[in-house]
Amino acid sequence: MSEKITIYDIAKKLNITAATVSRALNNNPKIKESTRELVLETAASMNYKQNKLALALKSGRSNNIGVIVPRIDSNFFASVIRGIEEELYPHGYQVIICQTHENPKRESENLYTLIDAQVDGILMSVSGVNNENDSAFRNVLEKNVPLIFFDRSKHIEGVSSVTINDFKGGYIATKQLINQGCKNIAHLSGDQSLEIFKNRFLGYKQALIDNGIEFNEKYVIQSKSSVEAGKEAIDILLELETPPDAIFSSSDFAALGAIQELKERNINIPDDFCVAGFSNEPFTKFMEMSITSVDQSPLEMGRMSARVFLEQVDKTDTIKIEKKVVLAPELHIRKSSTRTTS
Amino acid sequence: MSEKITIYDIAKKLNITAATVSRALNNNPKIKESTRELVLETAASMNYKQNKLALALKSGRSNNIGVIVPRIDSNFFASVIRGIEEELYPHGYQVIICQTHENPKRESENLYTLIDAQVDGILMSVSGVNNENDSAFRNVLEKNVPLIFFDRSKHIEGVSSVTINDFKGGYIATKQLINQGCKNIAHLSGDQSLEIFKNRFLGYKQALIDNGIEFNEKYVIQSKSSVEAGKEAIDILLELETPPDAIFSSSDFAALGAIQELKERNINIPDDFCVAGFSNEPFTKFMEMSITSVDQSPLEMGRMSARVFLEQVDKTDTIKIEKKVVLAPELHIRKSSTRTTS
DNA sequence: TGACTATAGGTAATCGATAACATTTTAAGT
DNA sequence: ACTTAAAATGTTATCGATTACCTATAGTCA
């Protein structure tokens, strides 16, 4: 139960004032070299540790940044967080994690909680686009706390974002399916009120159009990102009078479900049905029937978001730069969409 | 750029003192009901938010807890963190994440940093057992900050831990392989200076002994937790004069590598070679050749660790309870160790 | 030697909330 | 009306570090 050592303890021991100790520790030039050394030595010998809370209160900066994600136990978000942590650690920032579980109310709560906790910035991936929590966002902006969106963004003036080009991601994945000779390509989308899903869908659609394939509304199914949802989608799609011969899924999990259901029905992948997913979750590569997927370079996304934060945090309040970083998606072509027969 | 509202602002507006405001906001019984209401209303209308940093400095509690893991982008650790966050969120604690990347130096750094940041507790999974960082641990204990190990523990007097019964995990996985008729069972272990790996190994060994199978040292390979390591292990094992007909791997990733290598060599799984892994990573269930694995119930582990922390955080310093929670591992039997032939 | 300027360090306010202790107001009892 | 207890609020120190402002000492130069 070592007592907490403060600069006052050091001061008392050396018969000087706390101010001098503070200055010595902070390399203030107004301190004689000999006293500085003396203070430094004494501080070390007493095992002094600066109280970050006192510093935070005084300076108004907590050296904590908040990260809000729908959930942490998905490889994508975990990897982004890893990137953020790695980039900010050398700068002395600690990362506080909050999960919304896709619940906008939790999202608001998290925003308020982080602001209350005096974080120096908030990096987040939005959980849904309703306007219920507008006031929470407004609160952040009013407090002049840097806010940066990654992956799932939201249009707010003055707010920077780091995303990937989802349109292009949808486009190249669909294009690859077309290249394999698929003619009737279905699309499993997520909640299209979220831009990422909207854009992937638009990329998909554009790829069809550019390649002379008619867009069929019936081929687009909106569902959750789960294995079960993928299976159900196949159930529905195969009931159509012209069932599709490929599917581009906005979710790797749904893509996996689709594959499982197709196998169940003895439909040959990729020769009779091609599948492509999105996110490049680790399992897509591990499977026997490895799944073609669009990589979002989450690590890079996290690092980049952190860098954007660092750029903004020291700027004076008046200069508000809105920076939009868009990373390029990369298609990892695997067995699920690589036909051996030509 | 809304100015920060403090209790002094409220006090000034109402012509009372900050103390009264503080008491009113904290439901102190010494306040007249009418003033309390007045203060509450005014606070709300002025959009007052308590400054948590000031509170933290005054009370000495930051309401932050630190979590140290080797890395966050593994399903196991991410899930544990999820459990921790979910359990602590309702209690007003924020979770600060640190990664060690299996580097003991980073581990020490993280410990010091968290203590500097005045966290109210540290929950961690140790990254290696060297004694270099003993002083970092001692520092935590001296500061009387609750420390709780999860999964990868370390023997320190007075420190609680939440682990699974790794011995049993190793035992039941091995037993299942024996039940399938496997006679020569190999084991892929991790760094045995870590207890978890040591215990899984011991469980494996005991299962062999209990079932009249002679333990063969050559069947034990120590390696990293990676797909590549699994492949290499198979390379080595199949060179032996009596190659094994099953493998129990302490890592799902290595188990996957083993399976890939076995397939490469056209060895029939599970009929000619059974495989069992550890951790129950999501992909083990998704694969075509699904992998038998020992589940560590990470979510529960996280929740439990959080609960142990909550129990300890309010205890007075003198009562130091050392609580050892041991969760039961659960074997998920899948194709990789389910023989159709008998 | 006197005036002046660095140089080094001290004093005290500040960040915002809390709480022990002190004081005033209100209510109750006789 | 007067004492006395109870209730409500005010005063002030505190948590630990920083810093604007002030003071004291030493050194410089004419």
Query: For A135, which residue in chain B has the nearest alpha carbon?
Result: B47
Chain B residues whose CB is inside 8 A of the A89 CB are 98
Nearest residue, CB atoms, A118 vs list B52, B117, B288: B52
Query: For A282, which residue in chain B has the nearest alpha carbon?
Result: B283
Query: Average pLDDT per run of 10 along chain A, which is 342 residues long?
Result: 82 94 93 93 94 93 94 94 95 94 91 92 88 81 92 91 97 97 96 93 98 96 94 96 97 96 95 97 91 97 97 69 93 95 54
The answer to whether A250 and A229 have CB atoms below 8 angstroms apart is no
Q: Do B85 and A62 touch (CB under 8 A)?
A: no
Q: Is the CB atom of residue A32 positioned under 7 angstroms from any atom of strand D?
A: no
Cα–Cα–Cα angle for B4, B10, B11, rounded to 5 degrees: 130
Amino acid residing at A127: S
Name the β-bridge partners of A122: A66, A147
Q: Do B86 and A99 touch (CB under 8 A)?
A: yes
pLDDT at B65: 95
pLDDT at A234: 97
Nearest residue to nucleotide C15, by CA–C1' distance, is A58
How far is it, in rounded angstroms, from Cα B8 to Cα B291? Answer: 63
pLDDT beneath 50: ranges in chain B: 1
pLDDT at B341: 59
Q: Which of B99, B253, B283 to mutate to test the interface with A (most CBs of A within 10 A)?
A: B283
Nearest residue to nucleotide C26, by CA–C1' distance, is B32
The pair phi, psi for residue B276, each rounded to 5°, is -135, 140
pTM: 0.91
The pair phi, psi for residue A325, each rounded to 5°, is -95, 125
Q: Do B289 and A288 touch (CB under 8 A)?
A: yes
Q: Is the CB atom of residue A139 positioned under 7 angstroms from any atom of strand D?
A: no
Residue partners of B181: CB distance under 8 A and separation at least 6: B339, B342
pLDDT at A1: 44
Q: Do A57 and B62 touch (CB under 8 A)?
A: no
Sheet containing strand B246-249, strands side by side: B220-222, B185-189, B246-249, B274-279, B292-295, B330-332
- The closest nt to A32, taking CA to C1', is C8
Q: What is the DSSP string of A245-310?
A: SEEEES-HHHHHHHHHHHHHTT--TTTT-EEEEEE--HHHHHSSS--EEEE--HHHHHHHHHHHHH
Chain A residues whose CB is inside 8 A of the B78 CB are 72-75, 78
Residues near strand C (C-beta below 7 A) are: A 15-20, 29-33, 35, 54, 57-58, 60; B 4, 6-8, 18-19, 22-23, 25-26, 48-51, 54-55, 57-59
pLDDT at A316: 57
pLDDT at B1: 45
pLDDT at B134: 81
Q: Which of A89, A120, A286, A296 to mutate to test the interface with B (most CBs of B within 10 A)?
A: A286
Q: Do B57 and A52 touch (CB under 8 A)?
A: no
- The closest nt to A23, taking CA to C1', is D18
Write out pLDDT tens, residues B163-197: 999 999 999 999 999 999 999 999 999 999 899 99
Q: Distance, in angstroms, between B114 CA and closest chain A CA?
A: 9
